[in-house]
């Protein structure tokens, strides 16, 4: 049944839910870009003033901002930074020195003017610039090269590189609540919150959104990506706004959040990775960043308080499932270096250079697939939502989300209450990640092998275990096979209980599924994390890398079945 459903989804052609790009909210934002920046500036200043009501508090924050910005320019300057960065912040510092001599009453007008200049600069830096013609061109280029890479890798004749024999849908499977997502995108504003494992995630999600017939989403892209002009062109074309992770000061962070907040209020579908960065450990995110997530709560309350259409916001968890991750060696070394400190010794240049083009050719040239699991929609409180957009309680009764924002019969602003709502939503998203996570054979074999070695060397801590040599690491295949069957059976039971999901290739004869897992796990890496030796037993060339892939199934209690 599941295999048939996968084939049906793979071949499904989704028509656009909005025919004309001119109707897309992201286009309307860009069309009125100047006015939107002014609104973001004004609202951000109001919010900052709410947080820093006294002139002395605000002066202290602006002084800290200027110091950090000048430090950033000195130590970590990027090509994409404005040419007048140094002169602007030098002028700001001089003004702040002059303001520090004034009395609190004399400060109000000049400090507000300075705050306006700083916030307006930040809002202009952040704002995206979506153009329909550029979007169409960028979309076709991405589609063309992805498709040609696929076909060029799968056939021997060079000429076939320019003939379309295979489609991306043969390799990238979109599963889950696609129909529900399309319906809700017509009724309200969607906030898509995917897991984050690879630099490919942004490209992948952008393609998936288009493939599902949805209008372009706005999404925050790291400013460092805009250092390269051609990438900057595609980012701007596809609806990105800029996020500078070097800037941790209050004015910048509040401006960034207000940009997201107001865009959602205006109906722009949005995407951000709530984990904040790629998972270094390979685990599904357990703790989410609450900054941008809180903007969904604030935007929903503002929508309910508006005189116009009280548009509802729907939060859609998404898990991305790979057999192997391009950057896994570097990511796990970062994680272990932080976790182990002086107990973990990082090896320099251990894995050589990994180029994106080689990765894509390798991926499209083997049997590996990528799975994108679309979860059920939630309201901003974490309640499930039906096809009509109604929120449901635990007994499937319709509830009104607006009631969560009402106190003493009136809709009120309560920051502390909304902070708690944000934490509740983040916990629900994490729970949904684990529930819709689509297990691959490569995940299972990695988990079992590492757990077996941990039990075999139970007297060693993680970091001593990782120092073992290849000669110490060998698992009898028959023992491995028996454990595999036991763990897989438990995964079947957990799926029946709605606690996890798995790809159809996990079913079948044990030897065949194990073989598929071994073939695909870390297939691109120079040192394979798991393979069979000449005796037919299980071994590894890189236990740290195996630990990364093992971590995908941490959190399900499967250890007790090893």
Q: Is 113 left (phi over 0), alpha (psi -120 to 50) or beta?
A: alpha
Q: Which residues contact 288 (CB under 8 A, 6 or more apart)?
A: 274, 275, 276, 426, 429, 430
**Three-class DSSP category at 316:** strand
Measured distance CA(553)–CA(56) in Å, rounded: 50
pLDDT tens, the chain, 562 aa long: 444 445 555 557 788 888 778 888 888 888 899 999 999 999 999 999 999 999 999 999 999 999 999 999 999 999 889 999 999 999 999 999 999 999 888 899 999 999 999 999 999 999 988 877 777 777 777 667 656 544 544 444 444 444 445 567 777 899 999 999 999 999 999 999 999 998 778 878 888 998 899 998 998 888 877 777 777 777 777 778 888 989 999 999 999 999 999 999 999 999 989 998 899 999 999 999 999 999 999 999 999 987 767 899 999 999 999 888 888 999 999 999 988 754 444 443 343 334 455 555 555 555 567 899 999 999 999 999 999 999 999 999 999 999 999 999 999 999 999 999 999 999 999 999 999 999 999 999 999 999 999 999 999 999 999 999 888 999 999 999 999 999 999 999 999 999 999 999 999 999 999 999 999 998 778 889 999 999 999 999 999 999 999 999 999 999 999 8
Measured distance CA(390)–CA(49) in Å, rounded: 36
Residue 278 corresponds to which tokens in the numbers above? 């790629």
Strand pairing class (240-243; 218-222): parallel
The structure's pTM equals 0.88
Sole residue written with tokens 């010794």: 345
Beta bridge partners of 501: 438
- Alpha helices for 306-460 (secondary structure H): 328-340, 356-364, 415-436, 441-456
Beta bridge partners of 26: none
Residue 438 corresponds to which tokens in the numbers above? 């689509």
Q: Is the Cβ–Cβ distance between 132 and 21 less than 8 Å?
A: yes
Q: Which residues contact 489 (CB under 8 A, 6 or more apart)?
A: none
Residue 236 corresponds to which tokens in the numbers above? 């701007």
Residue 175 corresponds to which tokens in the numbers above? 């599963």
Hey, where are the domains in the chain? Answer: 7-21+161-214+257-433, 438-561
Query: Which helix H or strand E contains 180, and what residues bound it?
Result: helix 178-187
Measured distance CA(98)–CA(94) in Å, rounded: 6
In angstroms, the Cα distances linking 1 to 6, 268, 379 are: 9, 36, 30
Q: Is the Cβ–Cβ distance between 332 and 544 less than 8 Å?
A: yes
């Amino acid at each position: 049944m599941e295999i048939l459903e996968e084939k049906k989804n793979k071949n499904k052609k989704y028509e656009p839910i909005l025919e004309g790009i001119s109707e897309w909210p992201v286009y309307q934002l860009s069309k009125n870009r100047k006015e939107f920046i002014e609104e973001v500036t004004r609202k951000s200043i109001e919010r900052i003033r709410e947080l820093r009501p006294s002139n002395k508090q605000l002066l202290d924050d602006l002084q800290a901002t200027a110091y950090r910005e000048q430090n950033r320019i000195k130590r970590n300057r990027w090509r994409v930074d404005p040419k007048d960065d140094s002169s602007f912040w030098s002028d700001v510092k001089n003004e702040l020195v002059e303001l520090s001599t004034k009395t609190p009453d004399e400060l109000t007008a000049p400090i507000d003017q300075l705050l306006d200049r700083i916030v307006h600069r930040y809002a202009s830096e952040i704002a995206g610039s979506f153009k329909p013609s550029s979007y169409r061109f960028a979309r076709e280029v991405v589609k063309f090269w992805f498709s040609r890479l696929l076909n060029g890798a799968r056939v021997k004749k060079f000429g076939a590189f320019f003939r379309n024999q295979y489609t991306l849908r043969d390799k990238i499977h979109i599963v889950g609540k696609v129909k529900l997502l399309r319906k809700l995108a017509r009724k309200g504003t969607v906030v898509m919150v995917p897991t984050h494992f690879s630099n490919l995630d942004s490209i992948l999600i952008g393609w998936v959104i288009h493939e599902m017939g949805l209008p372009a989403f706005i999404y925050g892209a790291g400013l460092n990506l805009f250092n390269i002009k051609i990438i900057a062109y595609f980012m701007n074309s596809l609806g990105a706004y800029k996020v500078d992770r070097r800037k941790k000061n209050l004015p910048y962070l509040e401006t960034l959040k207000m940009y997201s907040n107001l865009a959602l209020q205006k109906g722009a579908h949005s995407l951000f990775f709530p984990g904040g960065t790629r998972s270094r450990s390979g685990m599904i995110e357990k703790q989410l960043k609450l900054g941008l997530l809180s903007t969904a709560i604030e935007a929903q309350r503002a929508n309910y308080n508006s005189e116009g259409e009280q548009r509802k916001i729907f939060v859609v968890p998404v898990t991305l499932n790979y057999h192997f991750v391009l950057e896994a060696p570097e990511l796990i070394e970062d994680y272990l270096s932080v976790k182990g400190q002086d107990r973990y010794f990082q090896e320099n240049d251990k894995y050589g250079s990994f180029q994106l083009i080689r990765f894509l050719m390798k991926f499209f040239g083997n049997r590996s697939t990528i799975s994108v699991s679309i979860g059920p929609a939630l309201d901003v409180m974490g309640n499930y939502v039906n096809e009509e957009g109604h929120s449901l309680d635990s007994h499937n009764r319709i509830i009104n989300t607006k009631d969560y924002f009402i106190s003493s019969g009136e809709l009120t602003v309560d920051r502390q209450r909304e902070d708690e709502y944000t934490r509740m939503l983040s916990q629900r998203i994490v729970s949904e990640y684990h529930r819709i996570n689509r297990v691959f054979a490569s995940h299972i074999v990695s988990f079992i092998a590492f757990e077996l070695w941990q039990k075999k060397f139970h007297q060693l801590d993680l970091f001593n275990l990782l120092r073992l040599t290849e000669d110490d690491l060998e698992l009898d295949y028959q023992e491995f096979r028996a454990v595999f069957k036991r763990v897989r059976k438990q995964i079947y039971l957990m799926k029946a209980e709605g606690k996890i999901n798995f790809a159809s290739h996990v079913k079948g004869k044990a030897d065949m599924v194990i073989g598929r897992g071994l073939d695909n796990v870390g297939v691109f890496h120079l040192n394979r994390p798991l393979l069979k030796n000449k005796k037919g037993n299980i071994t590894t060339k890189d236990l740290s890398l195996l630990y990364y892939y093992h971590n995908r199934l941490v959190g399900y209690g499967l250890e007790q079945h090893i």
